[in-house]
Chains A and B, each alone.
Chain A
Amino acid sequence: SQKIEQNSEALNIQEGKTATLTCNYTNYSPAYLQWYRQDPGRGPVFLLLIRENEKEKRKERLKVTFDTTLKQSLFHITASQPADSATYLCAVNYGGSQGNLIFGKGTKLSVKP
């Protein structure tokens, strides 16, 4: 069965630096992969989606890459700010095109001023 691994439980960086978060999947390549932000006691908020035929996607200070050979996605936040501090979740679809998602445990990012 598909498993999603976000290897770093926590990541601490200095304001202004680039944060890089990793998401690995173990089985088949998903049709798409999504990244979400989750604040404490809140539901996930969608950030970016990347399809299996896309190498890279950008949105403002966010960049996502998708390497189907490595079975890995990287999520970058450039010029990080303390307001970026949150838990970031990676999710992939399973069950064909039904839209059901498998989530990783997330990486808690702390950006220190």
Chain B
Amino acid sequence: GAVVSQHPSRVICKSGTSVKIECRSLDFQATTMFWYRQFPKQSLMLMATSNEGSKATYEQGVEKDKFLINHASLTLSTLTVTSAHPEDSSFYICSARESGRAFYEQYFGPGTRLTVT
């Protein structure tokens, strides 16, 4: 149980284009989903927290107009990187917290490697 999937696992896009990454909770309902970014040999950095049906809360320094988050259902959240640039190349990881579970229980997806050329 408690499986989180991400799609795609890898994506290469050209500078200036937009990319959408999906995060799904496969066998549970997630009221809250988190989006992280991880650069090589660095820690996971929380970008934003999204609650189903409401606007995402972005961490300081994360541009909400550049990283669009939509948590439209209890099993799906999407992250759209708009007008991507090479410096956006990173490993993007989502996690999900099951409805009614302890606040510290998060299940992580396998990650999406984004490369912007």
Instruction: Please list the residues of chain A having a beta carbon within 8 angstroms of any beta carbon in chain B.
Output: 4, 9, 31-32, 34, 36, 41-46, 49, 89, 93, 97-106
Residues of B within 8 A of A32 (CB): 104
Main secondary structure of the interface of B (DSSP, over half): strand
Asked whether, in the complex, the Cβ of B106 is within 8 Å of the Cβ of A105, the reply is: no
**CB closest chain-B residue, reference A32:** B104
Q: Is A44 within 8 A of B93, CB to CB?
A: yes
Which B residues fall within an 8 A CB radius of A?
A: 4, 6, 32, 34, 41-46, 49, 91, 93, 95, 97, 103-111, 113
A-B pairs, 9 with minimum CB distance = A43-B108, A99-B103, A103-B43, A103-B44, A105-B43, A43-B111, A43-B93, A44-B108, A43-B110
Contact B43 A106 (CB under 8 A): yes
Partner of B97, one of A34, A36, A99, A105: A99
- B110 → chain A closest CB, angstroms: 5
CA distance A36 to B43 in the complex (A): 12
Q: A100 touching B49 by the CB < 8 A rule?
A: yes
